[in-house]
Structures are given as structure tokens and as C-alpha cells.
Amino acid sequence: MEQDSSTEEMKTLAECLNKMVLKGYTEDFKAGERGLLSLHKEKLYDISEINVVNFYRFEGPSDPADNSILYIIETNDGTKGTLVDGYGPYSDPLVDNLIKQVEEINKVNKNSLTHDTAAHG
């Protein structure tokens, strides 16, 4: 997962959300204790079914409460959408926990591929 902060036309959260919708990221997600909830499909995704493909941070000009982060998410069944959260002291602990777990799973999977390739290649 890499942060993309160089995109000039996406200076605000609203602009970025609109651009993501045009790219097909139309689902709204919400973090929960048991995984990621798709609000339109009303489906709960397990941590292992989630891939965070990108994220964007937005900083308010004067108020730290305006800080937000937009996660761009794809699930194993092809559902594409977004998850919005505050960051820093205003972040949602459920979102923080979910993102950390997804990153750990991705690290384990990448290490497994590296070890398998090294053993067979």
C-alpha cells in the first residue's frame, strides 16, 4: 500500500472521493470489530478478504480535527470502495486495528511468496 499525495486535482477529500467513484470504487465501507462491512451490499468481509490498494491523507489548513485519510479498498470478490477515517488523535480505533491487520496479512503473504520463489527458483 502506497500513499499517493502527488495528485494535483485531488486536493480535498470530496474531490478524491469523486475521482475514486469514477474509477469504479463505489462501495462505502465501515470498519467493525469482526471485519469490514460493505454498507450497500450489507456484506461483512473478513480481514483476509481485504486489500488496501492505496490511501490519501488530507490535512485541514488550521484545525487538526479536519485531518482525514481515505483508504482505497478492493475485496477478494471484486468489490471496490472506500473507507474514510480521521487520523492521528482523531482516528477510529476500529479502522486502525483493521488496517494494521490487513497490512500484517499482506506482509505474511508477500514473505510466503518470496520464500516459495527462493525455494523453487
Domain locations in the chain as residue ranges = 2-120
Q: What is the pLDDT of residues 88-117, one digit of tens each?
A: 788 899 999 999 999 887 777 666 554 444
The whole-number pLDDT of residue 113 equals 52
Number of other CB atoms surrounding residue 76 within 10 Å: 11
State mean pLDDT over 50-74.
Answer: 85
CA distance linking residue 92 with residue 2, whole number of Å = 20
C-alpha cell at 40: 450497500
The whole-number pLDDT of residue 10 equals 64
CA distance linking residue 73 with residue 101, whole number of Å = 14
- pTM for the full model? 0.79
pLDDT for residue 1 is more than 70: no
